[in-house]
A and B are shown apart, each in its own frame.
Chain A
Amino acid sequence: MTDTNKAAPEPLLHIDNLGFSYGEKEILRGLDAQIGTGELVCIVGPSGAGKTTLLQCLSGLRPATSGAVRFRGRPIAGPPAEMAVVFQDYSHSLMPWLSALDNVALPLKSAGLGKKERQQRALEALEEVGLAGSEQKYPWQLSGGMQQRVAIARALAYRPAVIVMDEPFASVDAQTRADLEDLTLRVRQHLDITVLLVTHDIDEAVYLSDRVMVLAGKPTTVADMITVDLGRERDQIETKADPRFAGLRSQVYRLIRRPDAADAALAASGR
């Protein structure tokens, strides 16, 4: 492991034959994947497929029923300190009795940072997501999209090695959504953060990802891991106009729409 270079990032997260059931109800079966340091992987799949459940297993919030998740080689037991989560249910993930600033700063307090430093970091993170000026507002005084951005700021300010986001841009307008997508790309680039992001939007998945994890089937399995070779520099207009973008987009779309086509796709691609 001495000569690992940027071209072959050392896997940060191993998903080994992961299975999960809510009681009798089997949701996930035999998931395998490896996610490298600094990689951005989007997870797509039909509603109810178990994407949120998968993220909870990956972030140590739910123990797997079978198989294992390893983070830096060690099996996950409880949430790792180096991971931050942006929850799908954002309105309940913020404390209504704390201002936006204090919501972002509280985890930093627990991490042992001094008052000045955590205020500073929280302010920076809120500015980064475009909420400068709303620091003192309470979450319920903010729109859904703004609340969602507070939750994202909280994860950014935490400066994790891995950031796990569950449909983080679901309730923001198109322009803000594009801005936040580019922010995610920027943050990944500058801070070398590994990003796992669940989305319903296939365009978004292809636009953001290094690889797209497509979930399908019943119980859910990994239908495919699609490598998006569009380079690290992405542009909202140019990237989306690229013919390869359209090709990848329809590839993902087909996998989701016809889960049973996953095997056919595998056979066709000769792997």
Chain B
Amino acid sequence: MKPTRNPWARTGAGLAWHLWLPVLLVAGSLLLSQQFSSHYFPPLRTIAEQTWVIWFDGGGMAENLLPSLLRLLAGFCAAVVAGVLLGTLLGLMPRTEEALRPLTDSFRAIPGAALLPIALMFFGTGEAMKIVLIAFISMWPIMLNTIDGVRSVNPTLGQVMESFKLRPLDRFWHIYLPAAAPQVFAGARTALAIGVAVMVVVEMFGTPGGLGYFIRHAQENFQVVAMWTGMLVLGVFGYLLNALFRAFEKRILNWHHAMVAHTQGASS
């Protein structure tokens, strides 16, 4: 590909690269859904109109999207904090980590859905159950990646910390966390996707409020169009969340990207 000089053209190209698939899908289903009218696949036009009616005019955003967002954020943030703290501790204590590995491995291997009945039993159908389950299931990739990241700290840096008597908190904030950051972010990105999936499931089984609840409720009441609007909102929600996360990651890992670019530039 030839490098494009004009920054507007470049942004345009980048945008096109991102949007070609959604545009194609939308156009395709617009065409197809006009050809045949199935009750289960309502025309996209209808879905789009109803999305406006339900989510924007009708207050669906505040009623069902906002609770989902807050819940996901709470669960995801808890997962990040717990995953990073546990990962750092286990990363620094290889013997303990080894001893606990059967436990962590089997927890990790249990499909999230299997935990739902247990969570319902302990926490009921309310907010606590939803957030705990989101946090618990999405924590694992963060924790495992943090363990690897913390262990990647160079032994010489370990001696630097010892000889300059860095305080434990300074070691955590200024050595282990930045050293593990690229891996932590990779884990967190996976965790976010898992978190969205768990969020939808727990909302389907929990108390009213939320995207998952909305979709299931619509389906149970044969409001097929409403159900599809829920899917649409969920798709856009997931996409925007991921984009936001990547922008945040790029900001925080600025030094890392610059270093990689720099060293690669020097070696080639």
Contact = CB atoms under 8 A, between A and B. Distances in A.
Interface of A: 56, 59-61, 78-79, 81, 83-85, 87, 89, 92-93, 95-98, 106-107, 109-111, 138, 140-141, 154, 158
13 contacts: A61-B163, A79-B165, A85-B159, A87-B156, A87-B160, A92-B156, A93-B156, A95-B174, A95-B178, A98-B178, A106-B164, A110-B167, A140-B259
B37 interface: no
B157 interface: yes
B165 A110 contact: yes
A95 B175 contact: yes
Given A87-B156, A93-B157, A140-B259, A98 B163 contact: no
Nearest to B262: A140
B235 to A, nearest CB: 36
B154 A92 contact: yes
A92 B157 contact: yes
Interface in B163-186: 163-167, 170, 174-175, 178-179, 181
B6 to A, nearest CB: 30
Contact of A110 (B156, B157, B166): B166
A84 B156 CA distance: 14
A115 to B, nearest CB: 13
Nearest to B162: A79
B164 A158 contact: yes
B45 interface: no
Interface in B241-257: 255-256
Given A95-B157, A95-B175, A110-B170, A85 B259 contact: no
Interface string B148-160: 0000001011011
A140 B260 CA distance: 10
A96 B156 contact: no
A175 B165 CA distance: 33
B163 A85 contact: yes
Interface residues of B, number: 23
B156 A83 contact: no
Nearest to A90: B156
A87 B262 CA distance: 24
Nearest to A102: B174
Looking at A59, A92, A141, the one whose CB has the most chain B CB atoms below 10 A away is: A92
A77 to B, nearest CB: 12
Contacts of A98: 174, 178
A111 B160 CA distance: 14
A93 B175 CA distance: 11
Given A61-B163, A79-B162, A87-B160, A106 B255 contact: no
Given A87-B159, A138-B258, A154-B164, 15 more contacts: A59-B163, A78-B162, A83-B163, A87-B156, A93-B156, A96-B259, A97-B179, A98-B174, A106-B170, A107-B165, A109-B170, A110-B165, A138-B259, A140-B263, A141-B262
Contact of B166 (A56, A59, A107): A107
Nearest to B159: A61
Interface in B122-174: 154, 156-157, 159-160, 162-167, 170, 174
Contacts of A89: 156
A13 to B, nearest CB: 15
A155 B164 CA distance: 9
Contacts of B154: 92
A92 B152 CA distance: 12
